[in-house]
């Protein structure tokens, strides 16, 4: 049986809370290029996770808008610049893979994205409706014979920047986990020498 890494997080919904998904849905509606369905969400507050699930069409514009929404949630929780960079890179790569390679840009197919963000980590599950693939068949892009080949680099980068990535099912569902890095220290300000 496959594990659902998000299932163990109990929902704690307080009275109605605005999570800014309304603005996102309005933006999509006005463009009429895609549809976004919010299934559930929990507000961002210290100690309380944000857990949400959406379905987007096989459209990179929809993927980019969703990516920005998730990153805003990480920024709200003050994740560091390095963590934001790593999540942005891996999330974009995973969404593009699902839309272009998994669903082959088929407008009749969708991508389901489920995520949970808290003070400690972000867990993102992305599932497309494609045939899937065996990640073990992807060549190592760092091997000498593959240095000139473009395939495999995205997965390699995702693995480098995330705490873990795992593929499930027939290879059409990936779970990305990024544990929050230790607080980034700001450089100490040098004080001017005292005149004396």
Could you tell me the fold of the domain covering 21-179? Heat Shock Protein 90 (3.30.565)
The answer, as to whether pTM is greater than 0.75, is: no
Of residues 178, 187, 155, the one with CA closest to residue 84: 178
Enumerate the domain spans of the chain: 21-179
Residue 71: C-alpha distances to residues 3, 65, 157, 166 (Å) = 25, 10, 18, 21
> Could you tell me if 24 and 65 are in contact, meaning their C-beta atoms sit under 8 angstroms apart?
yes
Q: Which tens digits make up the pLDDT trace of 56-104?
A: 999 999 999 999 999 999 999 999 999 999 999 999 999 999 999 999 9
pLDDT < 50 regions, the chain: 1-45
């Amino acid at each position: 049986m496959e594990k659902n890494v998000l299932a163990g997080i109990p929902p704690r919904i307080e009275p109605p809370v605005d999570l800014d998904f309304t603005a996102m849905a309005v933006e999509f509606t006005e463009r009429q290029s895609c549809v976004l369905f919010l299934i559930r969400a929990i507000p961002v507050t210290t100690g309380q996770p944000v857990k949400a699930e959406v379905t987007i069409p096989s459209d990179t514009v929809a993927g980019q808008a969703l990516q920005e929404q998730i990153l805003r949630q990480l920024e709200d929780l003050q994740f560091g610049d390095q963590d934001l960079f790593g999540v942005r890179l891996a999330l974009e790569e995973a969404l593009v893979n699902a839309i272009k390679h998994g669903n082959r840009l088929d407008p009749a197919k969708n991508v389901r994205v489920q995520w949970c963000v808290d003070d400690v980590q972000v867990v993102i599950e992305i599932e497309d409706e494609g045939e899937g693939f065996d990640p073990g068949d992807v060549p190592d892009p760092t091997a000498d014979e593959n240095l000139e080949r473009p395939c495999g680099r995205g997965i390699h980068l995702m693995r480098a920047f995330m705490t873990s990535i795992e593929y499930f099912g027939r290879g059409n569902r990936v779970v990305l986990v990024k544990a929050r890095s230790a607080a980034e220290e700001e450089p100490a300000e040098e004080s001017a020498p005292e005149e004396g």
